[in-house]
A and B are shown apart, each in its own frame.
Chain A
Amino acid sequence: MTFRSLLNFTLMCFSLALIALFTGCAAIVSSPDQQLVFTTEPTKAEIYVNGSKMGTTPCNILVPRRRPPPSIILKKEGYEDTPVVFTSKYNPWIIGNVLWGYCSLTAFTVDFNSDKSIMYYPDTFLTTLSPLEGTTPEQKNSAEKQKQKSKVVRFVAANYDALVLELSKGSGDHLTALFDLMEIPAANRENAVTKLKPLYIKYDNPVELGRAIELEFPR
């Protein structure tokens, strides 16, 4: 075997190993199930996947990767049944198969046509349950207050990272939006930032933090 043949053989093995590494990723990351995270406001809602109860919020559940995706409904007494809306997209790792073209045609075809290629998006859900509409004005008013309260909790939980970053700087778009949502006048916002900081240290769970903020800044 000449040096050139040896070099060629080594280079080819290296490239094929690289291909195998990338195309193999689909199999590595794509188990038949995907873990989805559910949190609701209020908590303790039952999660039904295709009609079967799978858990109670807050919890993580394994959902089978399927086409079409399973139907997931959140149920809680006194609240409307809430379907969870999510989409499936192709696992980006299978692009490895596409890019590596015909060398991995089999791998690509298998992954593309199997449910392993599916990734549900988003994979974290914070859902605010809507109270069933009451009939009396008091009930309606209470439902409206609950909705408003839920909005704050939901906003804090959904934008936790951005709020934390902005809080460390003392200002930002997300903080402004939170104060607008809580109807805190501009003059009191600097104070509000000071009040918020200890809460962020105390609560590292976004939903709990949202609830604590609601209590700290009653309207």
Chain B
Amino acid sequence: MVSTRKPYKGYRLLFAELIITLVIVVAMSQSVCATDDSTISDHVIQKAGKLRLYDDPVWLAIGHYQQNSKGWISTVADPRFFLSERGKTDPKAELEATIRAFFAPRVNIEEHATSRFVARLAWLRERGVLSEDELPSFHDTNYEKLLAEVRPTKILLAFPSPLAEGMNSAFGHVFLIFVHDDRSPLLAPSVSYAALIDKSRGVLYPILGLAGGFKAYYTTQTYTEKLKEYSAIDCRDMWEYELTLRPDEVERIFQHTWEMMHIYSWYYFLDENCSYGVLALLNTARPGLCSPAIDRRLFILPLDVIRQVREQGLVESTRYLPSVLTSMRTLAQKLSNSELVAAKAMACGKEDPMQVLKNTNSVTPATMLDVAMSLAQIRVDTGEASVDEHQKIMGSLIRAVQNTQTESRSDDIPDVPPYPETAHLPSRLSTGVAIRNDTVYWLAGIRPAYHDFLDPSEAMDPAVQLQLMATEVLVDKTGDIAEWKLCLFDMETLRPCDTLYAPLSHRLKVSTIYRNEAISPSEWNCETEGGLGYSYALFERTLVYGMGEVDLQTRTLQGDTWMGVGPSGGFVTDLPWKARAFFKGRYQINSVDPDCLRFDLSAGYSIAVTKQMSIAIQYVKEMIIGEESDTELRLEGRLYF
């Protein structure tokens, strides 16, 4: 027994020694490798340092660095984006850490810096500081698979037109599409920059949106899905701008988009928004595209991006994509009212299309069916019809189409409206005189964004008024401020109804006024107005509307409150010579004291002198029964910038 155990102990010792030796050898070899990699990375860092690549505009662009009074700072907030602890504020440290990370042991291919930071790697190779021999590339990575599938050769910039239904869509939107020449853009992926909004924050939601309280990410979707969202569901017309970027520039944007996936920045509704995100991507292709002129603005709007790429000569071609609603309305112009009623009945499943076509003597039955199909699509996309119901309706419409002779379709395509970037600039300075109850004031105002009914309507939606943070002062002849007015928010959307489709029109305005007129005591007035109703198009260029309105005013210094309820109505119209006019009447009953009544009248006329300059005249009369009425006439010059 003893003799058999001794050799066993000896083997065990030998085995242990062998293992230790192996561990030492492996550790030494690893150490040698690490030393080798570290030597190469130091060498590459030296080369990059000599070339001052950390100051290179492309490096600063792909790091999203911006200069402030203290130096550089990246707008990216996610720590995973930075490989150096000081990376957010130190482009040099980040560059060095990136090079070191490229030479780090290759354990998990997808998590390795060379697979994650593909734009950084490609740029270093392009600058000649990192060769394939020094750092061989991984193959068959997820990025390479994606690149092989998409093979982007050009980029489209898409602009869905504004939808004044809420702040997040009120100024429009921009996103990019990576297109391959041989494939339909509809199959291509799109990338947009959007906030991940947590609406559980309740009333804090808009404040957090303004103050950078939400994380924003680059997100991808196929262009088809985007088109469905904007064109069919939201009924927004779209514009596509093909950009004249070189293949290497397209590839860098694609690479950088990959780098930015799942990386967050803080979202600021006014400036670091979807437009900023798109500019930041374009900036990596051609640094300087995001010009300081645009950086200095309080707002960056989607149209600013379009103007910027247009000014930079980056637009190769432009394409207009009418929404399903616009296309339907164009087709509907060919139909009589009875045909429209029949088309609506078919789209709502109230009448069998075959039966309708049998009984009609219409010369445009195919157009009737197309209108019915478009309306059916709008109804299901807006939730007015269920999916099951919709499928049945579409089935019956398709069967009817097959039995219908197609008429000429030459005028089916909507006219192309003026390019949206040709509209007046969003910010406005105004100055002029106001005569209020026989007293003359000088007025001056500034409005950061965006458009009102008296601004030039060329390339703007004539049915939408949207103003943010518009402020105005009235100064009397002694030089004292008689009134200071801040309109925080003013949105009015007149969506015309017709036989086929009857959307609601609405308005909401929140403002505050400080009055310090010599003839009356000072007062601070906060006002919230809202309304819902319907509008109709008349004579092609005129919209008439009627609404039910509520107006709440609190005069804080006097401590009294007005809560008016009542109807309102008016019109907005385009006139010859680039002029516009509006009229509005409103009757209000104070719900606190029904004997207290108010009648408001307002009218305005403006004429565009140039695209960026207009002159406006407005008349306002407010009559409260039992009190003296207020009348104001004003003449102002407006400059857009």
Which residues between 138 and 183 of chain B lie within 8 Å of chain A, taking CB atoms? 165, 182-183
- Cα A12 to Cα B594 with chains together (Å): 8
CB of B192 to closest CB in A, whole Å:
14
Contact A11 B507 (CB under 8 A): no
Which residues between 162 and 205 of chain A lie within 8 Å of chain B, taking CB atoms? 162, 164-165, 168-169, 173-174, 176-177, 180-181, 197, 200-201, 204-205
User: Looking at the complex, which of B291-299, B389-397, B603-611 is the stretch in contact with chain A?
Assistant: B389-397
Does any Cβ of B come within 8 Å of A142's Cβ?
no
Residues in B with CB closer than 8 Å to A161 are: 232, 373, 376-377, 380, 394
Q: Closest B-chain residue to A37, C-beta based?
A: B387
Does any Cβ of A come within 8 Å of B444's Cβ?
no
Does any Cβ of B come within 8 Å of A134's Cβ?
no
Residues in A with CB closer than 8 Å to B395 are: 204
Does any Cβ of B come within 8 Å of A98's Cβ?
yes
- Cα A23 to Cα B587 with chains together (Å): 21
Which residues between 97 and 114 of chain A lie within 8 Å of chain B, taking CB atoms? 98-103, 112-113
Contacting A15 at CB < 8 Å: which of B185, B383, B406, B548?
A: B548
Q: Given A92-B165, A168-B369, are A204 and B532 also a contact pair (CB < 8 Å)? A: no
CB of B184 to closest CB in A, whole Å:
4
Does any Cβ of A come within 8 Å of B100's Cβ?
no
Q: Given A92-B165, A102-B528, A177-B186, are A204 and B398 also a contact pair (CB < 8 Å)? A: yes
Does any Cβ of B come within 8 Å of A68's Cβ?
yes
CB of A214 to closest CB in B, whole Å:
16
Does any Cβ of B come within 8 Å of A53's Cβ?
no
Contact B565 A15 (CB under 8 A): yes
B-contact 0/1 string along A2-17, CB 8 Å cutoff: 0001001101101110
- Cα A214 to Cα B413 with chains together (Å): 31
Does any Cβ of A come within 8 Å of B508's Cβ?
yes
A-contact 0/1 string along B299-338, CB 8 Å cutoff: 0000000000000000000000000000000000000000
CB of B198 to closest CB in A, whole Å:
8
Contact B186 A173 (CB under 8 A): yes
Q: Closest A-chain residue to B533, C-beta based?
A: A18
Q: Closest A-chain residue to B625, C-beta based?
A: A4
Contact A103 B550 (CB under 8 A): yes
Q: Interface residues of B toward A: which range?
A: 35 or more
Residues in A with CB closer than 8 Å to B126 are: none
Residues in A with CB closer than 8 Å to B376 are: 161
Residues in B with CB closer than 8 Å to A143 are: none
Does any Cβ of A come within 8 Å of B202's Cβ?
yes
Q: Closest A-chain residue to B376, C-beta based?
A: A161
Residues in B with CB closer than 8 Å to A37 are: 387
The tally of residues in A whose CB lies under 8 Å from a CB in B reads 54
| Chain A contact surface mostly | helix
Does any Cβ of A come within 8 Å of B57's Cβ?
no
Contacting A98 at CB < 8 Å: which of B391, B508, B563, B565?
A: B508
Q: Closest A-chain residue to B183, C-beta based?
A: A180
Residues in A with CB closer than 8 Å to B387 are: 37, 60, 124
Q: Closest B-chain residue to A203, C-beta based?
A: B395
Residues in A with CB closer than 8 Å to B370 are: 165, 168-169
CB of B329 to closest CB in A, whole Å:
14
- Cα A50 to Cα B598 with chains together (Å): 55
Contact B591 A103 (CB under 8 A): yes
Q: Given A11-B566, A12-B565, A161-B232, are A168 and B383 also a contact pair (CB < 8 Å)? A: no
Contact B232 A162 (CB under 8 A): yes
- Cα A158 to Cα B377 with chains together (Å): 12
Contact A201 B199 (CB under 8 A): no
Residues in A with CB closer than 8 Å to B460 are: none
Which residues between 380 and 423 of chain B lie within 8 Å of chain A, taking CB atoms? 380, 383, 387, 391-392, 394-395, 397-399, 401-402, 406, 409, 412
Q: Given A101-B530, A159-B224, A177-B186, are A11 and B373 also a contact pair (CB < 8 Å)? A: no
Residues in B with CB closer than 8 Å to A169 are: 370, 406, 409, 412
Q: Given A99-B530, A176-B184, are A159 and B228 also a contact pair (CB < 8 Å)? A: yes
- Cα A8 to Cα B599 with chains together (Å): 12
Residues in B with CB closer than 8 Å to A5 are: 594-595
CB of B433 to closest CB in A, whole Å:
33
Does any Cβ of B come within 8 Å of A88's Cβ?
yes
Contact A15 B399 (CB under 8 A): no
Contact A112 B202 (CB under 8 A): yes
Q: Closest A-chain residue to B549, C-beta based?
A: A15
Does any Cβ of B come within 8 Å of A19's Cβ?
yes
Residues in A with CB closer than 8 Å to B366 are: 168
- Cα A124 to Cα B465 with chains together (Å): 33
Residues in B with CB closer than 8 Å to A176 are: 184, 186
Contact A113 B202 (CB under 8 A): yes
- Cα A113 to Cα B201 with chains together (Å): 10
Q: Given A99-B550, A101-B528, A160-B394, are A67 and B199 also a contact pair (CB < 8 Å)? A: yes
A-contact 0/1 string along B542-553, CB 8 Å cutoff: 000000101010
Q: Closest A-chain residue to B225, C-beta based?
A: A158
Does any Cβ of A come within 8 Å of B614's Cβ?
no
Residues in A with CB closer than 8 Å to B184 are: 173, 176-177, 180-181
Contact A204 B548 (CB under 8 A): no
Contact A102 B563 (CB under 8 A): yes
Does any Cβ of A come within 8 Å of B567's Cβ?
yes
- Cα A4 to Cα B354 with chains together (Å): 55
CB of A36 to closest CB in B, whole Å:
10
Contacting A90 at CB < 8 Å: which of B199, B383, B529?
A: B199
Q: Given A15-B548, A88-B199, A168-B366, are A103 and B563 also a contact pair (CB < 8 Å)? A: yes
Q: Given A102-B528, A159-B224, are A165 and B594 also a contact pair (CB < 8 Å)? A: no
- Cα A174 to Cα B227 with chains together (Å): 10
Does any Cβ of A come within 8 Å of B187's Cβ?
yes
24 contacts between A and B (CB under 8 A): A11-B566, A12-B566, A12-B589, A19-B548, A67-B199, A67-B200, A68-B200, A92-B165, A98-B508, A99-B530, A103-B550, A112-B203, A124-B387, A159-B228, A161-B373, A162-B228, A164-B373, A165-B370, A165-B373, A169-B370, A180-B184, A180-B187, A197-B402, A201-B398
7 interchain residue pairs of minimum CB distance: A204-B395, A99-B530, A177-B184, A177-B186, A161-B377, A18-B548, A67-B200
- Beyond the given pairs A8-B597, A12-B565, A180-B183, 5 more chain A to chain B contacts, judged by CB atoms under 8 angstroms and listed by A's residue number, are A123-B383, A165-B374, A168-B406, A174-B224, A204-B394
